[in-house]
């Protein structure tokens, strides 16, 4: 006989933990699952300076959430991988590497994954995703190498490059990935320039002032800036950032020994004869983030492709409910945003689940307040992954309404 839980939460990041706290405050029987050995998800490892000068330290933020969760006796089980979920009548069966759980409600808060930006030689030891370097540096406190290069210029890679610098890791530069069918916009200097406005506020630096000045200018001015981008790159915290150079290949026998970097046109095409070889012992590839949503897909939740949210997202409403009764989503699975937004969404989901489980309509007020909090946090977010988040969010909410009307017919 398997114990029936009120709710199983998949993912112990900011969304999952915040939801668990809201559920435990209402005395629900909650189990939080995560396959990483430490709770906190990718909140662990985040480290950047807010515009106020204060440091946002993910390890400390996680400790605060865990302290609250532990005070409420929350059952958090780590090193548990969920590989399948199904719903039979009103019961969710959650299949894990450590047995099957049953629950009346589930929250899928699995976060995001990194898009690949493959370039020749990328399977060599020493090549890793930018997020891998973040976890190694700030969570495990192990240097990923002596001297490296960051391939991919975006919000995430700029923030993590800075984190590596803080840890005393030498970076040669940041450059674009060579253009191919997969790297897409990330290898196009004009598109990359468009994205730079979003890191304008991160911290004072020449590069950022450069980026923000042009990213807010007209397309003509911006394209001119790309055209005349300094050949030596623009320095960010002393490190050259190139949007007119791309890494075309990674070399080495048993591990990374060097990369080939070459100049590119404003469209990202390599300029023959400009290749140079740079000695490095590690390479970080930054292809951007997309919502990690497979479990919602196997549950039959409808999806919608929303560019502004980072890809295919499970359709949900502002209360974080989906079309499948009892199945909720929160955090980056609903769209790529900061950890603060994810946490605020988790609180909404937690109260929504409590209301559903207890049939307690007095919780409406908590839900409304928590939804307002999401908007406030979003408006004040210091790291914005996409300038049109609000439009993206509105399109998902609209899709939910349309589905609801159709299913009523």
Partner 1 sequence: MTNNRIVDHPVLGRLADRKEITFTFDGTEYTGYEGDTVASALLAHGIRTLRVHEESKRPRSIYCNIGHCYECRVMVDDARGVRACLTPIKEGMVVSSGKGLPNPLDASIPPEELPRTYQEYEEQSKEGKGDTDA
Residue 47 is a binding residue for partner 1 (CB under 8 A): yes
Question: Which tokens belong to 37?
Answer: 């050995």
Selected binder of partner 1 within 3, 88, 89, 123 (CB under 8 A):
123
3-state secondary structure of 52: coil
Q: Which is nearer to partner 1, 135 or 234 (CB)?
A: 135
Shortest separation between residue 110's beta carbon and partner 1, angstroms:
10
Closer by beta carbon to partner 1, 59 or else 200 = 59
The encoded tokens of residue 244 equal 């007119």
- Residue in this structure with the two tokens 């609903």, named with its chain if needed: 334
Among the listed residues 281, 279, 275, 364, the one whose alpha carbon sits nearest the alpha carbon of residue 319: 364
136 binds partner 1 (CB under 8 A): yes
242 binds partner 1 (CB under 8 A): no
Quick one: CA dihedral 73, 74, 75, 76, positive or negative? negative
CB of 18 to partner 1, least distance (A): 20
Does the protein bind partner 1 through residue 292 (CB under 8 A)? Answer: yes
Per-position b or e across 330-355, b if 16+ CB within 10 A of its CB: bbbbbbbbbbbbbbbbbbbbbbbbbb
Site string for partner 1, 63-102 (x = CB under 8 A): ----------------x-x---------------------
Residue 382 binding partner 1, by CB under 8 A = no
- Rounded Cα–Cα distance for residues 152 and 23 (Å): 39
Q: State how far the alpha carbon of 166 is from the alpha carbons of 128, 170, 191, 237, 317, in Å.
A: 19, 10, 28, 10, 40
- Footprint of partner 1 on 27-46 (CB under 8 A): 35-38, 42
Instruction: Give the count of residues interacting with partner 1 (CB under 8 A).
Output: 38
Query: Which of 1, 3, 88, 142 lies at the binding interface for partner 1 (CB under 8 A)?
Result: 142
Nearer to partner 1, 42 or 304 (CB): 42
Residue 333 phi/psi, 5-degree rounding, is -65, -25
Q: How far is the CB of 237 from partner 1 (least distance, A)?
A: 13
Shortest distance in whole angstroms from residue 191 CB to partner 1 = 24
Q: Is 198 in the site for partner 1 (CB under 8 A)?
A: no
Least distance in angstroms from the C-beta of 310 to partner 1: 15
Q: What is the DSSP string of 335-396?
A: ----HHHHHHHHHHHHHHHHHHHHT-GGGHHHHHHHHHHHHHHHHH-S--S-TTHHHHHHHH
Tell me the closest approach of the beta carbon of residue 14 to partner 1, in angstroms.
15
- What string of H, E and C letters represents the secondary structure of 179-235? CCCCCHHHHCHHHHHHHHHHHCCCCCCHHHHHHHHHHCCCHHHHHHHHHCCCCCCEE
227 versus 255: smaller Cβ distance to partner 1: 255
Angle between helices 219-227 and 206-215 (to 10 degrees): 140
Question: Angle at Cα 131 formed by Cα 125 and Cα 137, nearest 5°?
Answer: 80
Terminus-to-terminus CA distance in the chain, angstroms? Answer: 39
What mask of x and - would describe binding to partner 1 in positions 244 to 273, judged by CB under 8 A? ----------xx------------------
Which segments of 37-137 does DSSP mark as H helices, in order? Answer: 58-71, 130-134
Told to check if 409 binds partner 1 by CB under 8 A, we report no
DSSP assigned state of 120: T
Q: Measured from the CB of residue 211, what is the shortest distance to partner 1 in angstroms?
A: 24
Figure out which of the listed residues 64, 84, 98, 140 binds partner 1, where binding follows CB under 8 A: 140
Q: Based on the shown chain and the rule CB under 8 A, indicate whether residue 125 belongs to the binding site for partner 1.
A: yes
Considering the complex, state which of residue 46 and residue 248 has its C-beta at the smaller distance from partner 1.
46
Q: What's the min distance (Å) between Cβ of 40 and partner 1?
A: 12
Q: Which is nearer to partner 1, 136 or 399 (CB)?
A: 136
Q: By the criterion CB under 8 A, which residues form the site for partner 1?
A: 35-38, 42, 47, 55, 57, 59, 79, 81, 113-114, 123-129, 131-133, 135-138, 140-144, 166-168, 254-255, 292
């Amino acid at each position: 006989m398997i114990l029936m839980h009120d709710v199983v939460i998949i993912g112990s990041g900011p969304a999952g933990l915040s939801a668990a706290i809201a559920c435990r405050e209402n005395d629900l029987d909650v189990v939080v699952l995560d396959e990483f050995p430490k709770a906190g998800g990718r909140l662990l490892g985040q480290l950047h300076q807010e515009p106020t000068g204060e440091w946002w330290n993910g390890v400390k933020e996680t400790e605060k959430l865990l302290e609250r969760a532990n005070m409420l006796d929350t059952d958090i089980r780590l090193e548990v991988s969920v590989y399948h979920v199904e719903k039979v009548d009103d019961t969710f069966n959650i299949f894990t590497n450590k047995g099957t759980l049953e629950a009346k409600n589930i929250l899928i808060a699995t976060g995001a994954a990194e898009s690949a930006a493959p370039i020749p030689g990328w399977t060599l030891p020493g090549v890793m995703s930018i997020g891998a370097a973040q976890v190694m540096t700030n969570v495990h406190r192990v240097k990923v190498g002596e001297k490296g290069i960051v391939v991919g210029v975006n919000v995430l890679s700029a923030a993590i490059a800075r984190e590596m610098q803080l840890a005393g890791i030498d970076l040669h530069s940041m450059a674009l990935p060579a253009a191919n069918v997969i790297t897409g916009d990330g290898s196009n200097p004009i598109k990359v320039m468009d994205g730079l406005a979003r890191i304008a506020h991160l911290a004072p630096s020449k590069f950022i002032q450069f980026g923000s000045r042009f990213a807010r200018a007209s397309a003509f001015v911006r394209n001119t800036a790309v055209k005349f981008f300094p050949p030596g790159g623009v320095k960010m915290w002393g490190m050259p950032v190139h949007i007119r150079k791309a890494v075309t290949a990674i070399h080495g026998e048993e591990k990374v020994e060097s990369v080939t970097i070459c100049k590119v046109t404003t469209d990202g095409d390599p300029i023959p004869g400009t290749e140079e070889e740079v000695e490095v012992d590690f390479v970080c590839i930054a292809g951007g983030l997309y919502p990690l949503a497979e479990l919602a897909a196997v549950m039959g939740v409808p999806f919608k492709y929303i560019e502004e949210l980072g890809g295919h997202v499970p359709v949900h409403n502002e209360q974080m409910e989906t079309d499948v009764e009892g199945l909720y989503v929160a955090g980056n699975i609903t769209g790529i945003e900061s950890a603060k937004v994810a946490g605020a969404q988790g609180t909404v989901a937690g109260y929504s689940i409590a209301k559903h489980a207890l049939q307690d309509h007095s919780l409406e007020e908590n839900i409304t307040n928590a939804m307002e909090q999401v908007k406030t946090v979003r408006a004040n977010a210091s790291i914005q992954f996409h300038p049109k988040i609000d439009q993206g969010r509105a399109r998902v909410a609209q899709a939910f309404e349309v589905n609801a009307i159709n299913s009523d017919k």
